[in-house]
Structure 1
Amino acid sequence: MSAGCKEKKKRPLLVRVGKALRPWFNDLIAKGSLVPNTSLLDNRLFPWVAALEKAAPLIQKEFQAIMAERNAVPPLRELSPDHERIAPDNRWKSFFLYGYGIRVPENCAKAPITAQLVAGIPGLCSALFSVLEPGGEIPPHNGVTKGMLNAHLGLGVPKDRDNCWIKVADDTLHWDEGRLFIFDDTYRHTVQNNTDEVRGILFIQFERPTRGLGRLMQRIFLGGVKKSAFVKDAQGNIERWNRIQAELEKV
């Protein structure tokens, strides 16, 4: 990745205003939420979860095929400079199928079953294979918006399960292969993989079910994010990474 891709840019006025108004947006979205405004949410609130867990062996097979070319999976910080604070090194890697509703055709072609399954999730924003290398850590942070919820489906869980975890608010969670949990990432959360094995998950972000004014604020905020440099930069870097990988495969 060229130095130019990592060059810090001053974000447009719209983005800076959006950040200032974010607490107000989040409050309205939470008030209009059709599901609890809690750190962890019950899977039974989302009918698509059961089908995804049932298909987990097929998803896991596609994930393992991609991981056979592990060096071709890019570090998140290479794709999204905005994530450099919470991706302090190259041990957090991300293989995007969808990013903020934008399909990545080359990656979906390598995981067609997974891509088809996630495309059916109501309000899908992003779906990716998220890899945390041995010793990897994601520092404590809060997500951007109440308008999205996060889901993790375990695909590759270290044998030393107790030393690989995510803490969301006051709850410490461990991944299980083929099992999914859902959380609100605006609550403080952090991740550590204190093992000598890779942790792999299917990471999904989807729109929080909302109504009324909360729904309107959610649409305005997410619409602005999709048009922002935050998303455009990442999209361009994913395309650039895939072009480089395609050229390397020809060598």
Structure 2
Amino acid sequence: MTSASETESWTQKLKKARRRFIKTRGKKLSRSLANFLGRQSLVGDTPVLDNANFPFLKPFTDNWQVILGETKEILKHRDDIPTFQEISPDQYRIATGKNWRTYILYGFGLKMEKNCRLAPVTTKLLEQVPNLQTAWFSILSPGYHIPAHRGVTKGILRAHLGLIIPREAEKCWLRVDNTINVWRPGEIFVFDDTYEHEVYNNTDEERVILLFDFDRPMNFWGRTLNNAFLRAMKFTAFYQEPKRNLETAEARMEAAIRRADKNMESLSDH
């Protein structure tokens, strides 16, 4: 007779096997679509793209110091900001320990209302980005290396805005395909994360950027196919599990901030 624990074990094994199968098939499908979506692009198909194609980027560079101020307030609660793999367990290969924290404003189709309240100006700017998909403050520890990896679909592009950058900036960079990109405070660039990319922070200082994803401008059939692919992704564990984890992490962050505020009030009273 099979025990409850054995049944649970088999259930978990089946779930893991199904997850691996879907993940593998999804990667193959997204890569088979890549060439078609690249040809549908209205902004070229290079690893790093020209900012001139995206006029909505200028308000971010114009207001980067305000965004930085909001970031510094959030970083006061650094220890309560979740790690990347806590939100998305599938990323265990590229995110380890406490080395990569992510304060998420938009993720997996959700606007994190409570998180966004701590960054009102940043949120207002993000609301002007056409077809925004995700957005978060990406906090990388000193000395950390994010191994080479690829994104899910060529139908989405990624922007990085430099905020807190190590003094030895040249030792902290992002490689996309064969291009090396160095972050600078207040500067922004856009890249296609389906090209192999990796990050090195070869300094003893933290690196913080605002990262956000948006739909690649494409012709009709490219947009249609990409939208269908993204809708299908929403039914997978790759999407559903992070969505649940986001809500939990947001509630935990809010509780931590409330505790900190109460502690400050107690100190003021004394």
TM-score by length of 2: 0.85
1:166 alignment counterpart = 174
Q: Give 1:68-107 correspondences, 5 Å limit.
A: 68-107=76-115
Letter aligned with residue 62 of structure 2: K
Between stretches 237-246 and 55-64, larger displacement belongs to: 237-246
Q: Determine the C-alpha separation between the residues in 2 that align with 1:246 and 1:180.
A: 29
Q: Give 1:136-175 correspondences, 5 Å limit.
A: 136-175=144-183
Q: Which residue among 126, 131, 150 is the counterpart of 2:134?
A: 126
2:223 alignment counterpart = 215
Letter aligned with residue 240 of structure 1: T
Cα drift, residue 147 of structure 1: 0.7
SS state at 2:194 partner:
coil
Q: Which residue among 190, 197, 206 is the counterpart of 1:182?
A: 190
Letter aligned with residue 227 of structure 2: R
1:44 alignment counterpart = 52
Deviation string 1:115-161 (CA, Å, 9 cap, x unpaired) is: 11101100110010000011111001111110111100001001111
Between stretches 57-66 and 230-239, larger displacement belongs to: 230-239
SS state at 2:18 partner:
coil
Unaligned runs of 5+ in 1: none
2:242 alignment counterpart = 234
Higher helix share: 2
Over the residues paired in the alignment, what is the CA RMSD in angstroms?
Answer: 2.0
Q: Which residue among 41, 44, 51 is the counterpart of 1:33?
A: 41
Q: Determine the C-alpha separation between the residues in 2 that align with 1:105 and 1:155.
A: 22
Q: Determine the C-alpha separation between the residues in 2 that align with 1:250 and 1:121.
A: 31
SS state at 1:11 partner:
helix
| CA 98–135 in structure 1, closer or farther in 2 if over 3 Å, else same | same
1:205 alignment counterpart = 213
Q: Determine the C-alpha separation between the residues in 1 that align with 2:256 and 2:185.
A: 32
2:121 alignment counterpart = 113
How many residue pairs align between the two structures? 246
| CA 197–168 in structure 1, closer or farther in 2 if over 3 Å, else same | same
Q: Determine the C-alpha separation between the residues in 1 that align with 2:117 and 2:220.
A: 38
Q: Determine the C-alpha separation between the residues in 2 that align with 1:238 and 1:157.
A: 26
Letter aligned with residue 166 of structure 1: L
Q: Determine the C-alpha separation between the residues in 2 that align with 1:248 and 1:97.
A: 17
Letter aligned with residue 48 of structure 2: L
Cα drift, residue 249 of structure 1: 4.6
* Greater Rg over alpha carbons, structure: 2
SS state at 2:19 partner:
coil
Cα drift, residue 65 of structure 1: 0.6
Deviation string 1:205-230 (CA, Å, 9 cap, x unpaired) is: 11100113212111111222233321
Q: Determine the C-alpha separation between the residues in 1 that align with 2:34 and 2:17.
A: 26
Cα drift, residue 242 of structure 1: 2.6
Q: Determine the C-alpha separation between the residues in 2 that align with 1:183 and 1:69.
A: 30
Cα drift, residue 232 of structure 1: 1.6
SS state at 2:102 partner:
strand
The percentage of aligned residue pairs carrying the same residue is: 38
Cα drift, residue 52 of structure 1: 1.4
Letter aligned with residue 85 of structure 1: R
Q: Determine the C-alpha separation between the residues in 1 that align with 2:34 and 2:209.
A: 27
